[in-house]
Amino acid sequence: MLTKWKRTEELSFLNEVSAVALQQSLRHLHVAFANFFGKRPSYPRFKSRRRSRASPKYTKAGFSWRDGELTLAKMDRPLAIRWSRPLPEGSAPETVTVSRDQAGRWFISLVVETSTPPHPVIHAAVGVDVGLSSLVTMSTGEKVSNPLHEVRERSKLTRAQRRLAKKTKGSANRDKARREVARIHARIADRRRDFLHKLSTRLVRENQTIVIEDLNVSGMLRNGKLARAMSDAAWSDFRAFLEYKAQWYGRTVIAVDRWFPSSKICSACGQKAESMPLNVRDWRCDGCGAAHDRDVNAAKNVLAAGLAVAACGGDVRPTRRQPARRLPAKQEARPVRVVASRLHARR
């Protein structure tokens, strides 16, 4: 069918590019439909030639790599690339993906086979509590403030979106205004991604074990008042960066159950407070009288619970009554939450 499409007047533009990229797009379409009929994702969405993110993929038959220069099929000269990093020594790309974002910027991603040496083993662990005022609060007491990337560009973004709304649909001026909005969004996303990469890399380098909360971010985004701020914080991206970097460098990331009441439990004595509204940022334990910063206390409890999981196995469940389970003879039921509070008290 691909050969017939190239001969039609409507789809003659397909002859302008390499057949390798076209064949790869059909393979991607096959995988999308196979996943759909396997009842995994939803029905594949149409990808517009003009409005979608263009991302052709080339295998070894569709490009040449000589002396550090990349030449794609049907091109008479190598691409002028501004490299973000050098390729590993002695490696050659196996596949090349060329992509263009909505701002009109072009990127090239090269897949090479290499090995990542693990970081030296260190005896350090940290609990991480994410938030909005402080993006990250660590069990050590350190707080990393939220840079608020979207807030810094909000006025420019608002003006650009107003100009876009006034342009005639289909006009060249509207396309220029659309690219301006896309450039502002791209600038925000680049700054956010750069900040999260630096923060996650630092945590992975400095700690052998990192304990985080398993937050239901998609559900939390349904809160209309905080959805914009939570999207700007990008908690899901931060967790994804931590997990794959930890896998690369021989670190461990433990996710504590989302219903674990880390903010209500006293990290000193383990007593649980009846309620803890969001506006309470500092509180004092009724049992031992210890004064707590809400976020630092939560990070300490997350760390203690994660270490309990690492030592005993299982999951960290919330402090609530659960139905009794039948255990084998000579095995004592010992909830993980109790071990978590005692472990931290001993430490």
Of the candidates 76, 295, 315, 332, the residue annotated as catalytic is 295
295 has catalytic annotation: yes
Taking the C-alpha atoms of residue 255 and residue 310, their distance in angstroms, rounded to an integer, is 11
Of the candidates 150, 180, 213, 232, the residue annotated as catalytic is 213
Taking the C-alpha atoms of residue 275 and residue 265, their distance in angstroms, rounded to an integer, is 10
Residue 21 exposed, middle or buried by CB count within 10 Å (0-12, 13-18, 19+): buried
Taking the C-alpha atoms of residue 269 and residue 36, their distance in angstroms, rounded to an integer, is 51
129 has catalytic annotation: yes
Taking the C-alpha atoms of residue 207 and residue 127, their distance in angstroms, rounded to an integer, is 10
Of the candidates 129, 150, 180, 232, the residue annotated as catalytic is 129
Contact 307, 125 (CB under 8 A): yes
213 has catalytic annotation: yes
The set of catalytic residues is 129, 213, 295
